[in-house]
Amino acid sequence: MIKQVKSVRYLLAVIFIIALLFAFLRSPLVGRLLYPYLYREVIEKYAADYGVDPLLVAAVIRVESKFKPNAVSRRGALGLMQLMPATASWIAPQLGIADLTEEMILTPEINIRLGTWYLANLAAEFNNNRELVLAAYNAGRGKVASWLAEGVWTGSYEDVENIPFPETRNYVSKVRAAYNRYQALY
């Protein structure tokens, strides 16, 4: 009988510790550590300038680079928003930025400005459909347009599994999840 009482107490203690740990992990303090909002002033400035949700920009940055300004992908994408140099070079003159260098692309303010403008540009092309914008940001606007034209994907999150590229499928899901967390936390 004493052994059973000790076992029940032990089980209750374990359940209590698990509940406390779960509550701690779900707390806004821990959430903000896991989902930081670094460069907030810069993000909000360019998000306002280009009509983009700043929390979406933060979610893209978190997924793309985890807020590491000098991030370079194995494919050569640069900076916080992981812009390909060719894409950044296409955007720069439209924003009045002359002689863009890779060093400039790695500068947080320039990178956020370019990437946020690009999100706005994709949003204009894809009727503000967030899933299409994210897929195009990852795979390219031409790929997404062809998937839509061929009926491969409708552009809805409900059939995100139809995106032919696993990387893009995962990317859209990850950014969407991060965006939902940013909305809850900020």
DSSP code per residue over 161-186: GG-S-HHHHHHHHHHHHHHHHHHHH-
The question of whether 64 is a catalytic residue gets the answer: yes
Q: Which of 41, 44, 64, 150 is catalytic?
A: 64
Could you tell me which residues are beta bridge partners of residue 83?
Answer: 78
Rounded to an integer, what is the distance from CA 90 to the centroid of its chain?
A: 22
Which of helix, strand or coil describes residue 78? strand
Are 137 and 127 spatial neighbours (Cβ–Cβ below 8 Å)? no
Residues catalogued as catalytic? 64
